[in-house]
Amino acid sequence: MKKIVLGLTCGVLSLYGAAYAAPAKSTKKASSSPASSINENSSELQKVGYSFGYIMGKSNTEAVKDLDVNTFIQGFRDGYAGKPAGLSEEQMKAALLEYKHNQEAQDMKVFEQQGKVNSDAGAKFLAENAKKPGITTTASGLQYEVIKQGTGKRPTAKAKVTVHYEGKLIDGTVFDSSIDRGEPITFPLDQVIAGWTEGLQLMQEGAKYRFFIPAKLGYGETGAGNTIGPNSTLIFDVELLKVEE
């Protein structure tokens, strides 16, 4: 889930830090208002002022999606001019904290709903996939398909392996691929998701398998990063290149 970054009034947003950070992509539609009158021919102070305001807005568009821009500008003007605040410091902190908690609760609700959707979709996919020719289901629920058998060493759970792989979601979205990068990876087999630890022990060097990994053997209820959502079922094509005991 996204963390609520209340940098607008808490003093955590620095001009220089924001200037060199990649601004968040906004999902909002572009405004139909006229283009800004600020341009390269404006005065230095006008450009500095505009740049500061634009960076603050752009950097926080995802953090505070429903910001009341008019009251923000009023607060900025009053604070910059040293005028008395309309709210006490305690009231401002309380308002920001309440907003943060409300947004976190809303994000959690959406997160849990997505987890339920992914869980149901994964269960349906695996149930149908298990009926297909060439699919084997293990006691843990891992499913695999042998694309190519190997003839070399078989790894143990403590072995270090070198593999080429491609991972995708059940909708076909590829989230990681050493094949695309053109560089295999090496790792200890007991330091990856359970589906990999179990599945690779079924293989021999030179083999290529396709794994269908239920969420409980993958990244579970939390998911991973922005691509692998909660309770996501994963599909991996894995080629075992080398085993080191």
In this structure, what token pair is assigned to residue 162?
A: 């070198």
Nearest Cα to 104, choosing from 156, 49, 44, 63? Answer: 63
Q: Which residues contact 47 (CB under 8 A, 6 or more apart)?
A: 38, 40
Strand partners, 236: 167, 211
Q: How many residues does the chain have?
A: 245
How far is 233 from 231, CA to CA, in rounded Å? 7
Alpha helical stretches, state H, the chain = 7-10, 15-20, 44-59, 69-81, 89-129, 178-181, 194-200
Residues 151-170 as b/e (b if ≥16 CB within 10 A, e otherwise) read eebebeeebebbbbbbbbbb
- Tokens matching residue 16: 């220089």
Asked if 126 and 212 touch (Cβ cutoff 8 Å), the reply is: yes
**Which residues are part of the catalytic machinery?**
165, 175-176, 193, 219, 236
